[in-house]
Amino acid sequence: MTAQGDSRFQFRILPEGAWREVAPGVRRKDVAEDVYLLRLAAGAAETEIVAEKVTHRFVLEGDLQVGKRHLRAGDNDRAEAGRVAEPPASDDGCLVLIVLSLG
């Protein structure tokens, strides 16, 4: 480990960004390389995506429906690379931290 810490856990922080709408009722804010926040309004759903990396979803607030799983604050979900990610939806609205990784 270097004085800067373990290189596996270093992020390249992006300049303070703005929320941008990516689908009706769905906003995204990039936080770092391969890390972003996703906010879904009540009743909103993100469009279906194919991720080139493993997608980790961490629900920070609210509820998130991913396939048959109904996640709440503190829950997480993982979608393998190369597979069609279940399009997430929210009944009451939510804030989700998305982290993309190689494994």
pLDDT of residue 72: 97
d(CA 99, CA 33): 9
Per-residue confidence band for 102, with pLDDT thresholds at 50, 70 and 90: confident
Q: Which residue has the higher pLDDT, 27 or 10?
A: 27
- Six token digits for residue 44: 């909103």
Spatial CA neighbour of 89 closest among 59, 51, 44: 44
pLDDT of residue 50: 66
At the second CATH level, the architecture of 7-101 is: Sandwich (2.60)
Q: What is the pLDDT of residues 13-43, one digit of tens each?
A: 556 678 999 999 999 998 888 899 999 999 9
Sign of the torsion formed by the C-alpha atoms of 68, 38, 48 and 82: negative
Q: Which amino acid is at 17?
A: G
* Domain spans, the chain: 7-101
Neighbours of 93 (CB within 10 A): 16
pLDDT of residue 7: 67
For the chain, what is the radius of gyration of the CA atoms?
14
Q: What is the pLDDT of residues 49-89, one digit of tens each?
A: 667 888 899 999 999 998 888 999 999 988 888 766 667 89
pLDDT of residue 14: 59
Tell me the β-bridge partners of 58.
76, 97
Number of separate helices (H) and strands (E) present in the chain: 0, 9
